[in-house]
């Protein structure tokens, strides 16, 4: 009798309990493929996370195998953003300033405020919403009791198992990579909240937009929310820099501001040099750095022998250019070899000059050049002008004719004067890209200036 009861009990249990006790349990595997550089805000992402998600289906035995088993639940992860346009313009090497064209007039006021002046504050990143643990916690968890036999009790236990699964996931430590992405977003937001878009742009492009970052996010779609937040901040910066540059361009031909600049010289209220016209550089050329050097020398100490911008550019190419041909190798492979080894086998000063080439050219000219970074305050910038030194500015901006391409451009700060009509300092900037002497406010310099170079000239410059 006891043997019969035991057999009956084992047969009834086989109807309600599958061979695998936990039915349709989500299996989450975190794979760390190794070190990878180029993503972290500071000092660098050292352990990017590859998240593989798989679901283990239940194995049924006995009569329950005849029933149609429900489909295994799937964990939905947001796909990575489509970044083809930004990928095409991402920087892979040290940026080189390039030229741009004039902008058409628009109806925006000449002195409208920046997007970062506080009128339209930028929201801080919602780190709780971006937390990847919340995404992982959405993976369905089932109780060990089959709902086919005890439907009501199975539903109750399913809810209990789901809550227990969520608590366990939320109790995990946040991965190091995610902590660093949070730090990047918070730092970028702090810069934007303080009205400093250029440092924020460095962080966002390095950690969320450039090719290394894009490859990482494509391999780790679980973190796509962080990249979307970084792109949202980047779009805000792009809109502000584009609007700031358009205002400056429209203001360049203002006769009232030109008259004020001339009056400031007569009243001894001018810092730097008086207003002068600016020559337009060759169309679609990379001569903006050479024009900035030429304008700085011509407005101050001058040249020992007469020379025009075209002759100055020819002199720079004659003294700086170099070309080393690698025999029997494709030019694209040669360029990749240069990047990989950190070498520059060929260089043409007429195609643009990065920071290192600018330093070498200053030495050739016999000038002392110091890189000061972006000005931290208006008083610091005015201090450079009061010291009698010459100031060049490296701008980073967006242009509506270039889509989402980030442009690097070099200009020369001619001087500054207090505008009686606008009750602020106005800065005169010689811009060969537009062929005009533009008028900037401090707000626009904050938005557009990435680097400041201070030149010391002891006498006329010789260009043999």
pLDDT tens digits, residue range 151-206? 555 555 566 566 665 666 566 667 888 888 989 999 999 999 888 999 999 999 99
Give me the helix-helix angle, 224-251 and 197-204, nearest 10°: 140
Query: 52-80 b/e with 16+ CB inside 10 Å = b?
Result: ebebeebebeeebeeeeeeeeeeeebeeb
Judged by average pLDDT, the poorest of 11-15, 202-206, 293-297, 369-373 is 11-15
Task: Say if residue 79's pLDDT is above 80.
Answer: no
Cα dihedral 234, 236, 239, 243 sign:
negative
SS3 460: coil
Residue with the larger pLDDT of the pair 355 and 56: 355
Task: Determine if residue 423 is left, alpha or beta; phi over 0 gives left, psi from -120 to 50 gives alpha, anything else beta.
Answer: left
CA distance 267 to 438: 21
CA dist 32 → 46, 122, 132, 240, 386 (Å):
10, 34, 16, 38, 55
Task: Say if residue 1's pLDDT is above 80.
Answer: no
CA distance 161 to 240: 49
Task: Say if residue 101's pLDDT is above 50.
Answer: no
Give percent above pLDDT 90 in the chain.
Answer: 40
Task: Say if residue 349's pLDDT is above 80.
Answer: yes
376-427 pLDDT per residue, tens: 999 999 999 999 999 999 999 988 777 778 899 999 999 999 999 888 999 9
Beta-carbon contacts of residue 200 (< 8 Å; ≥ 6 apart): 187, 188, 189, 191, 192, 233, 237
Judged by average pLDDT, the poorest of 149-153, 239-243, 280-284, 297-301 is 149-153
Residue 281 near residue 432 (C-beta atoms within 8 A) = yes
Judged by average pLDDT, the poorest of 129-143, 303-317, 352-366 is 129-143
Q: Which of the listed ranges 32-36, 91-95, 220-224, 451-455 does the model predict with the highest average pLDDT?
A: 451-455
327-345 pLDDT per residue, tens: 656 766 766 776 676 666 6
Instruction: Write down the pLDDT at residue 179.
Output: 86
The mean pLDDT of 49-58, rounded to a whole number, is 34
| Partners of 456 in the β-ladder | 368
Instruction: Write down the pLDDT at residue 76.
Output: 41
Instruction: Write down the pLDDT at residue 283.
Output: 79
Mean of pLDDT over the chain? 74
The mean pLDDT of 279-305, rounded to a whole number, is 92
Residue 38 near residue 213 (C-beta atoms within 8 A) = yes
Instruction: Write down the pLDDT at residue 36.
Output: 35
Task: Say if residue 78's pLDDT is above 60.
Answer: no
Task: Say if residue 51's pLDDT is above 70.
Answer: no
The DSSP letter of residue 461 is B
CA distance 310 to 308: 6
Instruction: Write down the pLDDT at residue 232.
Output: 93
Query: Quick one: tokens of 110?
Result: 């000449």
Model pTM score: 0.68
Task: Say if residue 131's pLDDT is above 70.
Answer: yes
The mean pLDDT of 309-314, rounded to a whole number, is 94
Helices (H), 138-223: 151-170, 176-193, 197-204, 211-219
Judged by average pLDDT, the poorest of 110-119, 205-214, 416-425 is 110-119
Task: Say if residue 305's pLDDT is above 90.
Answer: yes
Query: Quick one: tokens of 167?
Result: 């608590």
Which DSSP string do the residues of 359-404 spell out, in sequence order? HHHHHHHT-EEEE--S-SSHHHHHHHHHTT-EEEEEEEEE-GGGTT
């Amino acid at each position: 009798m006891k043997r019969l009861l035991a057999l009956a009990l084992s047969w009834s249990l086989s109807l309600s309990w599958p061979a695998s006790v936990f039915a349709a349990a989500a299996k989450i595997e975190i794979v760390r493929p190794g070190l990878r550089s180029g993503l972290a805000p500071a000092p660098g992402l050292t352990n990017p996370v590859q998240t593989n998600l798989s679901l283990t289906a239940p194995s049924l035995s006995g009569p329950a195998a005849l029933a149609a088993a429900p489909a295994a639940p799937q964990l939905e992860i947001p796909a990575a953003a489509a970044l083809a346009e930004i990928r095409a313009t991402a920087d892979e090497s040290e940026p080189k300033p390039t030229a741009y064209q004039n902008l058409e007039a628009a109806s925006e006021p000449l002195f409208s405020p920046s997007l970062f002046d506080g009128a339209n504050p930028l929201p801080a990143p919602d780190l709780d919403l971006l937390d990847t643990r919340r995404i992982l916690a959405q993976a369905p968890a089932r109780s060990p009791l089959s709902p086919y036999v005890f439907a009501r009790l199975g539903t109750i236990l399913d809810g209990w198992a789901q809550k227990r699964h969520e608590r366990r996931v939320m109790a995990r430590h946040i991965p190091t990579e995610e902590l660093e992405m949070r730090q990047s977003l918070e730092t970028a937001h702090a810069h934007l909240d303080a009205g400093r878009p250029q440092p924020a742009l460095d962080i966002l492009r390095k950690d969320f937009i450039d090719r290394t970052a894009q490859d990482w996010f494509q391999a780790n779609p679980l973190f796509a929310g962080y990249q979307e937040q970084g792109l949202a901040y980047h779009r805000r910066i792009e809109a502000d820099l584009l609007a700031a540059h358009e205002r400056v361009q429209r203001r360049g031909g203002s006769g009232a501001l030109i008259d004020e600049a001339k009056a400031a010289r007569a009243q001894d209220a001018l810092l730097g040099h008086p207003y002068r016209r600016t020559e337009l550089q060759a169309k679609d050329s990379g001569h903006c750095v050479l024009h900035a050097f030429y304008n700085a020398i011509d407005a101050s100490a001058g040249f020992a022998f007469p020379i025009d911008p075209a002759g100055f550019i020819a002199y720079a190419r004659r003294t700086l250019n170099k070309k080393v041909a690698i025999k029997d190798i494709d030019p694209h492979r040669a360029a990749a070899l240069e990047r990989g080894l950190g070498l520059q086998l060929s260089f043409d000063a007429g195609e643009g000059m990065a920071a290192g080439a600018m330093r070498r050219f200053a030495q050739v000219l016999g000038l002392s050049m110091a890189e000061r970074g972006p000005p931290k305050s208006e008083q610091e910038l005015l201090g450079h002008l009061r010291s009698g030194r010459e100031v060049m500015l490296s701008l980073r901006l967006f242009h509506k004719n270039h889509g989402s391409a980030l442009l690097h451009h070099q200009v020369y700060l001619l001087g500054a004067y207090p505008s009686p009509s606008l009750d602020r300092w106005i800065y005169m900037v010689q811009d060969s890209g537009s062929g005009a002497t533009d008028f900037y406010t401090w707000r626009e310099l904050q938005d557009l200036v990435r680097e400041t170079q201070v030149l010391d000239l002891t006498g006329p410059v010789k260009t043999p």
